[in-house]
Structure 1
Amino acid sequence: MKDIAVRFKENPLLSPSDLTPSREGLEITCLLNPGVFQFQNKIWLLVRVAERPKQMENSISFPILTNKGTIEIIEIKKDDPELIATDARVINYKGADYLTTLSHLRLLCSEDGRTFYEPKNSPSLVGEGILETFGIEDCRVVLIDEVYYLTFTSVSKNGVGVGLRTTVDWQKFEKHGMILPPHNKDCAIFEEKINGLFYALHRPSSVDIGGNYIWIASSLDGIHWGNHHCIIKTRKEHWDSKRVGAGAAPIKTAKGWLEIYHGANENHQYCLGAFLMDLEVPTKVLARTEDPIMFPKTNYELSGFFGNVVFTNGHILDLDGETLTIYYGASDEFVCGAKFSITEILSLLTNI
């Protein structure tokens, strides 16, 4: 395998200690998987900020949102026989699943794409209502007809689905609720309409028949979705054998819509690959990379809150249409950057 990513020498760009917790009594455990966009001549990241109380030696504690928007702290003794805590991200207690952190989305900007800061009076996006009590995560951002569409993962005891908010000025946001019900995530809307329709990639999951596959859907208004097709499946004995999911919005090239996606294997190693869809009929996949184009190999990618992970859901394409800058989460703890050549990615695709 050949990793073709050119990582920023400044990596990690952001670490948990770089930001201030949202409220007293919590600490920032992870910075993850930013949505990326350009606005007012700056590059912006919509970073997932995961928080929890400071952990004590003999117990696990984590926050959840109440329906009224306040935070409740749940504390469980580690020796409780009804606690299953084998995953740093999720625990099971008395038959119910909980996240070990509570995530919200925070805006940071940069003039050079390397040094990011949090502007004064910039709003944070937090979970609201019964479908977001475990937080909101991993936002994708796309600009269509002067409106920014924000698709993100909404988490609660009811399940994991896709939420949508829109904005034109990044100060006021219109909430559209859950647009794809559980279990679904990794929703990336295409950057332009195709034959008058919105298109989006998404990832429904099945614990029985089926699997963690990438699907595509279309919409007249960007809110109500239908005409679903399964287009990318996991591959046995490959780097993407356990699950696959979309990254950011597909990139329009002369050869087709190019999507950078993540895949994971049975050892929970997350890598990046690519596939190509037809320009006019995006339900048709033309080609796919056999090997990953990026895999965890640096210390900050191999070791962290949940190590051996590179995961992207945001990028910027240079005006030349050739240089792709991705911003990605490393080991579920740090935010990093890397560059790719579009030509090189296309050269690694194998026709299907």
Structure 2
Amino acid sequence: MTTVSLFGEARFPLGPFTPYEHNPILRPKGDSWESANLYNPAALVVDDRVVLLYRAHADDIVSHIGIAFSDDGYHFEREDTPILSPEHDYERYGCEDPRIAFIEGTYYLTYTGWDRETAQLCLATSPDLRTWTKQGPLFEDFNTFAAVSDNGKRNWSKAGVIIPQQIDGQWWMYFGEGAIYWATSKDLIHWTPGTADTEPMYSPTPGTFDEALVEIGTSPVLTDTGLLLMLTNGATRITHEDGTTGVDYRCGQIVIDPADPTKVLARLQDPWLRPQTYEDTHGLVSNVTFVEGLVKFHERWFAYYGQSDTTLAVATADPWNAYGTGLRADG
């Protein structure tokens, strides 16, 4: 089994991306564990096929992680049985929102364990994408909303992406919902946050599309200038016509200099993807485009995202096309 590195030549900002005209590419089906909602996939390329590890659930909203394969990046065949399901108390109501890295023959899958009170960033490892060893929650008494709002949860962490090469002799991870933090490891199993939860490396930007919260989206790619680029998710509060409030999730981008990996160097000012279609604006949680998977496949970028926590879609970009300027330095 040959797995393509998550690194590839890219420019910041990456894009522009165009949503596939035949989205959604995966929908819920049948009356099984994936009958109600299917969304938020990790992505990688293995043996010249795109592999998606996606979140799905039935009406009980207990999430499992399934697997699907594609020869062209658009049309997928999925397996009937999930590869990861709830087993322990900390995840008894869901294994959610996977991200993945392949390092030295091992797959490292981060996901959210959900017990309907706390969300905890968890880790599972596998040699083959089939047999998984759960390593448990990564961070105790850490709240990634601490610097953003009082969510009443002291044990809250989500969304971890592992850099698949060492920086200064350590492994690095970027994680967080609400704000974004960093952590390091010597063995890829045990991780230590670099700061207290009140000191994020990146916070929401007032007056913009990510003013309510920011969250790491995809695993990184290496730009042609040596910077690490990651797609992100951001949310702002919206007021509906009936006076009720909700959230609007859009997708952004950030870059980090490996020479100074504790700081976000720049961000894309405007979202590269936002809710527009019916599926983007109607679902379990409406008005959501939520990216978690990015691969370079057959000379094209494929960004995989969830639509309103209900269906799964893709947007593509040609490497030879690029945005103009539109950057804003942070920090």
Q: What is the TM-score when the length of structure 2 is the normalising length? A: 0.81
Which one of 71, 76, 81 corresponds to residue 116 of structure 1?
Answer: 76
C-alpha spacing 1:290/1:330, structure 2 compared with 1 (3 Å): same
- Write out aligned runs for 1:36-75 (5 A): 36-52=43-59, 62=60
Q: Which residue of 1 aligns with 2:215?
A: 245
Larger proportion of strand:
1
1:107–1:123 CA contact under 8 A, matched in 2: yes
Partner of 2:32: 21
Give the superposition deviation at 1:290.
Answer: 1.4
Runs of 4+ in 1 over 4 A off after TM superposition: none
Picking from 107, 113, 117, the partner of 1:154 is 113
Equivalent residue for 2:303?
326
Q: Which residue of 1 aligns with 2:22?
A: 10
Distance 2:296 2:326 in 1: 19
Contact 2:66 2:79 in 1 (8 A): no
Query: Hey, what does 1:35 align to over in structure 2?
Result: 42
- 1:273 equivalent to 2:252? Answer yes
Say whether the 8 Å CA contact 1:193–1:199 is kept in structure 2.
yes
- Match for residue 170 of structure 1? 129
Query: 1:214 aligned to 2:169?
Result: no
User: Post-superposition shift, 1:158?
Assistant: 5.1
Q: Which residue of 1 aligns with 2:296?
A: 317
CA positional deviation for 1:154 = 0.3
User: Are the counterparts in 2 of residues 126 and 135 from structure 1 also a CA contact under 8 Å?
Assistant: yes
Deviation at 1:131, TM superposition (A): 0.7
- Give the equivalent residue in structure 2 for 1:228: 194
Which position in structure 1 is the counterpart of 2:7? none
Question: Is the contact between residue 65 and residue 82 of structure 2 (CA under 8 Å) also seen in structure 1?
Answer: no
Where structure 2 has 5 or more consecutive residues not aligned to the other structure, the ranges are: 1-14, 141-154, 239-246
CA distance in 2, matches of 1:351, 1:324: 25
The aligned residue for residue 351 of structure 1 is 329
Higher relative contact order (CA 8 A, sep 6+): 2
Aligned-pair CA distance for 1:285: 1.9
CA distance in 1, matches of 2:135, 2:173: 16
Decide whether aligned partners of structure 1 residues 341 and 243 sit closer, same or farther in structure 2, where only a CA change above 3 A counts: farther
Q: Which structure has the larger Rg?
A: 1
Partners of 1:111 and 1:311 in 2: CA distance: 23
Percent same amino acid at aligned positions?
28
What corresponds to 1:82 in structure 2? none
For residue 91 of structure 2, give the secondary structure of its aligned residue in structure 1. Answer: coil
Deviation of the 1:348 alpha carbon: 3.1
Count the aligned residue pairs. 288
CA contact (8 A) 2:65 2:96 kept: yes
The root-mean-square deviation of aligned C-alpha atoms, in Å, is 2.1
Deviation readout 1:14-47 (Å, 9 max, x if unpaired)? 1113x5513xxxx722111011122233211111
Which residue in the other structure is 2:169 paired with? 196
Q: Which runs of 5+ in 1 are unaligned?
A: 53-61, 63-100, 205-211
Deviations 1:239-297 (A, max 9, x none): 11111100111211133111110000012100001111002321122111111111111
**What's the CA shift string for 1:103-144, capped at 9, x where partnerless?**
000111111111111246x65210111111111100001111
Q: Residue type matched to 2:118 in 1?
A: G
**1:304-323 Cα deviation digits (max 9, x unpaired):** 22221100111112475xx4
Looking at structure 2, the residues matched to 132 and 346 of structure 1 have their Cα atoms a distance apart, in angstroms, of 43
Distance 2:89 2:66 in 1: 21
Measure, in 2, the Cα distance between the counterparts of 1:347 and 1:167.
41
CA distance in 1, matches of 2:88, 2:323: 41
Q: When the two structures are superposed, what TM-score results if normalisation uses the length of structure 1?
A: 0.77
Partner of 2:270: 291
CA gap 1:319/1:11 in 2 versus in 1, 3 angstroms: closer
Among 244, 253, 257, the alignment partner of 2:228 is 257
- On the 8 A contact 2:36/2:310 being kept in 1, the answer is yes
Query: What pairs with 1:135-150 in structure 2 (closer than 5 Å)?
Result: 135-150=94-109
The answer to whether the 8 A contact 1:4-1:294 is kept is: no
- Where 1:301 maps in the other structure, the secondary structure is helix
Over 3 Å counting, the alpha-carbon distance change for 1:319 and 1:277 in structure 2 is farther
Give distance in 2, aligned partners of 1:167 and 1:37.
14
Q: Distance in 2 between matches of 1:235 and 1:114?
A: 34
SS at match of 1:232: coil
Equivalent in the alignment of 1:86:
none
